Amino acid sequence: MLKSNYDVMLDLTGYETAEPPAFLEGTASLVLDRKNKIAYATLSNRTFEKPAQTWAKLIGYRLVTFTSTNARNQRVLHTNTLLTICNHFGTCQPAISHRRLSCATVDRAETHAVCVSTSSGGLY
């Protein structure tokens, strides 16, 4: 059904059947800065770097990956619980714990970054 409604379909299922398998979950794995063609992804057991790199290359985006943990030191599964990119600002959570991404990185994408704290520590 998708093929009949869309001109382009990216099939990354080969990563799922590879050894070891790798995944790029369709829900919340990538946060897109469409203006600057940058895709942000927190790496987890639902978002692996290789399929995300393939997606970015095929779509024409630059991929920025990072790791993040919640208050219980568990990997955060969904990038969109940490980062939001809008036309004039972006927000990022302090749970992002990787040198390749910080609020300064988001700011370089010609947005304004606003770090917010999460006292509950209940990030997914």
Q: Note the pLDDT tens digit of each residue in 17-51.
A: 999 999 999 888 999 988 889 999 989 999 999 99
Q: Say if residues 94 and 118 touch (Cβ distance below 8 Å).
A: yes
Residue 21 CB coordination number (10 Å): 11
Q: Which residues pair with 40 in a beta bridge?
A: 31, 64
Q: Note the pLDDT tens digit of each residue in 52-76.
A: 999 999 999 999 888 888 778 888 8
CA 61 to chain centre: 12
The CA distance from 119 to 42, in Å, is 20
Pairing verdict, β 83-85 and 90-92: antiparallel
pLDDT at residue 7 is higher than 80: no
Q: C-alpha distances in angstroms, 103 versus 70, 90, 117, 122? A: 17, 9, 13, 20
What pLDDT sits at residue 82? 82
Max distance between CA atoms of the chain, in angstroms, equals: 46
What pLDDT sits at residue 102? 46
What are the backbone dihedrals phi and psi of residue 33, each rounded to the nearest 5 degrees, phi first?
-95, 90
Q: Which residues pair with 41 in a beta bridge?
A: 65
What pLDDT sits at residue 35? 83
Q: Note the pLDDT tens digit of each residue in 82-124.
A: 887 776 655 555 555 444 444 444 444 444 343 444 443 444 4
